Every structure is written in C-alpha cells, then in structure tokens.
Amino acid sequence: MGRPEKETADYYPHYVTENETLTIIENMFGNDGYVCFHKLKEILCKQKKHVYDARNHRRWMLLVSKMGVSDEKTRLMLNLCAEIGYIDRELWENMLIYCEELVENLSELYKKRKEGVPLKPHLLDFGPVNNDPLGF
C-alpha cells in the first residue's frame, strides 16, 4: 500500500515581481499588510486542497493568531482581498478562504502528483459548521 497523496504544499513561490494585490494591501495596511499577505499563503498551503475553514470560532481565533494582527484588522484585510478578487468572495462570505492565484502558482508542484491541481471548492463541499465555541 502506497502513501496517500498529499493535498498540501510545503512551500509557495515567493515571486519578486510586482503583485497588484500585495501593492494594494501594503498601501492600505503597511507592513502588516505585507506580512499578512504572505502568512495567508503559508496558512493556505498547509490546508487540504488549500482551503481554510474559519466557520467555527476556534478556527477563526487560530487564523487571527497566526496573522499576528487584531481580529478587526484580519477581517478588514480579508474583506479587501475578497473585494479585489484575490480570495474567492462567495467562499469568504461563508468564512471559507480560497485563493485561485496561489493554487495556480502551485501547479508545477502538482504536475508530479496523480490527483492534479485541486479545483475550486463549492459551498456544498463543506459540512455543517461545528458551533461549539471551542471547536470540539
């Protein structure tokens, strides 16, 4: 029996060319914007199929903690990312974070995997929210 296929990534390409999304976020939020832009990519790379589910309070608190800024600033940055199309707006409205650009940038990695590049998820792919405040 072989190993199960990985649905995460250990790295993402950190391009040095200008990125419009990063420019906008950095302009609006300064260094916090720059850091959160890259932390978001790191977080998404670690998630199965590169989708972060922040629908329960514990997962949201974990995301805010990893971003290293306040709850309000995290929400504002993610709202901006959705507004300019960096993360999927419909998914974000349901507290799910998915970035098509990141997944496309990981396509070289997925060429070596049987499953191929993960497709954009649909809301129906996610079960009910666990509303336990501790996330258990």
- Residue (of 16, 62, 66) closest to 41 by Cα position: 66
For 114-134, the pLDDT digits (tens) are 677 777 887 777 777 766 555
Which domains does the chain possess?
Answer: 20-112 (1.10.10)
Burial class (CB in 10 A: 0-12, 13-18, 19+), 107: exposed
Report pLDDT for 3: 55
pTM to 2 decimals? 0.84
The greatest distance separating any two alpha carbons of the chain, rounded to the nearest whole angstrom, comes to 51
Over 10-59, what HEC string results? Answer: CCCCCCCCCCHHHHHHHHHHHHHHHHHHHHHHHHHHHCHHHEEECCCHHH
Report, as ranges of residue numbers, the positions in the chain whose pLDDT lies below 50.
Answer: 135-136
Report pLDDT for 122: 79
